[in-house]
Amino acid sequence: MSATREPRIVHEPGNGTLEIFPLSTEEETLVALMTELFRDHWDKIIFGPLIQGAVFEIKATDPPKRISMLDGYLTVDFGVWHFHVCIGEHRGSKNNPTDPDLARIRRTARAEFYRRLNPDGSVGSWGIRLFNGRDENQIYIFLPNPFLSDEMKFLKQPDWSRLALWDDLRQRYLDLPPDPKDRSGRTMFHG
């Protein structure tokens, strides 16, 4: 499940400086990761699309009732609402097949773990993001942050235990051990 490419530093307008760790876009990998995140860690993550001019920071109040795959789309169903994200092969139906070019646009073409760097080079936030074939954001998943409480309030002292999920996912999906750089910050900054 590990990615084969080295991390890179990118500067993105509105997002600041990110250290990117590429992740395989194979359906098996993304189904496993997304299922684990929403089945086992639904109460620890904040998620939604992030585009210029809009950020959806959604926090589930209950676990999903169902997580399923159909025609390349992962569905996470919370009962009164749900979302779909195309992470696998998408063909459409026999009576209404999807044009292959459109299917390539819809499917995740880039997946990555990231950590957002503060102006001093320390790390201020951690997450996962997926992009479609047009390089448009499908979903951001913000992982627990040692500088913020579950209620998104700044903590007086960093709680480094909140990096346990990041450390575990990096180890299993990227074959990377915990990194002291992740514990180098004193706070987080917004870009």
The string of DSSP codes covering 139-166 is EEEEPP-TTB-TTSPBPSS--GGGGHHH
Cα–Cα distance measured from residue 137 to residue 148, given in angstroms and rounded to the nearest whole number: 24
DSSP 8-state assignment for residue 170: I
Cα–Cα distance measured from residue 182 to residue 73, given in angstroms and rounded to the nearest whole number: 33
Q: For the chain, which residues make up each domain, given as ranges?
A: 8-182
Nearest to 139 by CA among 64, 80, 87: 87
Mean pLDDT, rounded, of the chain: 93
Residue 10 sits at φ, ψ, to 5 deg, of -130, 145
- Residue 12 pLDDT > 90: no
CATH architecture of the domain with residue range 8-182: 3-Layer(aba) Sandwich (3.40)
- Residue 188 pLDDT > 90: no
Nearest to 114 by CA among 182, 39, 56, 188: 182
Q: Is the pTM of this model over 0.95?
A: no
DSSP 8-state assignment for residue 56: -
pLDDT digits (tens, 9 = 90+) for 99-148: 999 999 999 999 999 999 998 989 999 999 999 999 999 999 999 999 99
pLDDT digits (tens, 9 = 90+) for 30-66: 999 999 999 999 999 999 998 888 889 999 999 999 9
H-type helices in 69-185, by residue range? 100-106, 164-169
Tokens of 99: 């044009």
Task: State the average pLDDT over residues 156-168.
Answer: 97
Residues 6+ apart with CB under 8 A from 31: 69, 74, 87, 88
User: For residue 190, what pLDDT band results from cuts at 50, 70 and 90?
Assistant: low
